[in-house]
């Protein structure tokens, strides 16, 4: 087995590289869970479309006041992972699927943000599988309130409103690092 030491070295370097954050990635601690998130990419995509989204939300017959940012309230460290996983799932499964505009540039940016969220949700899902991301009563109740607020609007309006408020979630995540 002459190639074994070389294979082991290449394999070790490959594994180490996969654990290192790439440029623009930040490591977030959600309770016992550590996740690398490409905040630069998400922020850039959101910034590029924010004006379009806000104008849609403020149009006549618009969407009114912001949904209460329940996740921005103080949570126990152990619940931060759970609520973050639930919110990323919410955005992937409900919000991004219903955010379509007539502008292909905006749609591409939404798709890019959705892909980043999907990747992060997978990482958080791995934490959940290892029981490092448990859901307490507090995070479960807060998420139920978020869903109730969301479901009080029609699907497209609620999705666009939630997308327009994405910066609130991103700010909360960065503050709670």
Q: For position 142, what pLDDT does the model report?
A: 85
CATH, residue 93: 1.20.1250.10
Q: For residue 65, is it within any domain?
A: yes
Which three-class secondary structure state does DSSP give residue 28?
strand
Going by C-alpha positions, the residue among 18, 142, 25, 10 that lies closest to residue 83 is 142
What is the per-residue pLDDT across 47-61, written as a single tens digit (0 to 9) for each?
998 888 766 665 544
Residue 13 lies inside a defined structural domain of this protein? no
Q: Is residue 60 domain-resident?
A: yes
Is 2 a member of any domain? no
Indicate whether 115 belongs to any domain.
yes
Cα–Cα distance for residue pair 22/13, rounded to 1 Å: 15
Backbone phi, psi, residue 135, to 5°: -100, 115
What burial class does residue 135 get, using C-beta atoms within 10 Å of its C-beta: 0-12 exposed, 13-18 middle, 19+ buried? middle
pLDDT digits (tens, 9 = 90+) for 89-143: 999 999 999 988 888 999 999 999 999 999 999 999 999 898 888 888 888 888 8
Residue 1 domain-assigned?
no
Residue 38 lies inside a defined structural domain of this protein: yes
Position 62 in a domain: yes
Burial class of residue 55 (count of CB atoms within 10 Å of its CB; 0-12, 13-18, 19+): exposed
> What's the number of domains the chain is made of?
1
Rounded to a whole number, what is the distance in angstroms from the first to the last CA of the chain?
46
Q: How far apart are CA 93 and CA 107, in angstroms?
A: 16
Structural domain range at position 59: 21-175
């Amino acid at each position: 087995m002459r190639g074994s030491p070389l294979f082991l070295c290449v394999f070790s370097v490959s594994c180490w590289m996969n654990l290192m954050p790439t440029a623009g990635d930040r490591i977030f601690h959600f309770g016992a869970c550590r996740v690398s998130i490409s905040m630069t990419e998400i922020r850039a995509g959101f910034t590029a479309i924010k004006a379009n989204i806000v104008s849609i939300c403020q149009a006549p017959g618009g969407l009114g006041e912001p949904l209460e940012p329940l996740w921005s309230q103080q949570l126990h460290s152990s619940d931060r992972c759970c609520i973050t996983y639930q919110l990323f799932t919410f955005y992937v499964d409900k919000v991004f699927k219903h955010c379509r505009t007539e502008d292909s540039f905006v749609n591409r940016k939404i798709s890019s943000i959705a892909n980043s969220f999907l990747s992060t949700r997978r990482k958080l899902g791995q934490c959940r599988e290892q029981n490092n991301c448990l859901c307490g009563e507090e995070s479960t109740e807060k998420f139920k309130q978020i869903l109730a607020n969301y479901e009080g609007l029609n699907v497209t309006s609620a999705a666009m409103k939630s997308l327009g408020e994405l910066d609130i979630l991103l700010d909360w995540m960065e503050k709670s690092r």
